[in-house]
Amino acid sequence: MCCDRGMDFDAYERGPRAGRAAAYERGFAREGGQHAGGWRVGCHAVGDCAVRRVLGAYEQVALRHPDLPPGTLVVEHAFLADAQTRARAVRLGVGITVQHPLLYSLGGNLVRYWGPDRASQVMPVRAWVEEGALIAAGSDCNVSFFDPLLSIWGLVTRGTRTAGVQGPEYRVDTYTAIRLYTAAGGRLLREDGSVGILAPGAFADVVGFRADLLDCPVDDLPSQQPALTLVGGQPVHDPDGLLGS
């Protein structure tokens, strides 16, 4: 795992850290090249420089391992990724994971330290989806909160705790948000035949709600509570006895 939190690409390319960023890319490409034949590699990258450097390393790995299945190489977070960067990731088959709880919790600080323009571009989920990225959503708990429904609400609204709505152009609909939190994760893990879906032969991990999450008002999503939960087809939460004996 490699982590570089560089914010500004130009500052990194021309500033005192330029050599360090280039060294990270070379070193990661070397290590990734050794392991990617059998391992799946996820690299945390937040700033635009970091995301581009990671993709540069992944491109070198892909040259040495041209038959890597999509999703073998993953960028975690990818806060800042413009259209050119997204196209590189899609072309390489790189998986992308996004975590709205980070934007929700850190939005105020992002606006303060990065400025409103950059903060509004954090995690352009709709663009990733429309451009065909292999993308899934999660929480990054314990860095931020776990609550899936508040996270789904955030993917739909782009709302934050203290900084209002950031980047409304990157909202997705409720169905897409739920899919990113369920079936898309199975696809990214290459377990889409058994997890994240309701289908014969799958693991039957089910959470049931009294409301229809697709039809209820979006601002009601965070307040919905599970009415029942099954893990592997076995009830683990059924306070009202809805599943019977």
DSSP track, 134-171: EEEE---TTTS---HHHHHHHHHH-B-SSS-B--GGG-
| pLDDT above 90 (res 80) | yes
Mean pLDDT of 168-190: 97
Q: What is the pTM of this model?
A: 0.89
Residue 74: which H helix or E strand, with range?
strand 73-77
Q: What's the residue count for the chain?
A: 245
Percent share of the chain, pLDDT over 70? 84
Instruction: Give the model confidence (pLDDT) of 26-75 as tens digits.
Output: 666 665 555 555 688 999 999 999 999 999 999 999 999 999 999 999 99
Q: Which two tokens stand for residue 196?
A: 């994240």
How far is Cα 215 from Cα 224, in angstroms, rounded to an integer? 12
Q: Encode pLDDT of 90-101 as tens digits.
A: 999 999 999 999
CA distance 58 to 66: 11
CB neighbourhood size of 224 (10 A) = 16
φ, ψ of residue 208 to 5 degrees: the values are -110, 140
| 230 has a pLDDT exceeding 90 | yes
Q: In what order do the strands lie in the sheet with 95-98?
A: 3-4, 41-45, 73-77, 95-98, 134-137
Superfamily classification of domain 3-193: Metal-dependent hydrolases (3.20.20.140)
Distances from the Cα of 110 to the Cα of 45, 72, 142, 148, angstroms = 15, 30, 19, 22
Cβ atoms of 45 and 4 within 8 Å: the answer is yes
pLDDT of residue 53: 95
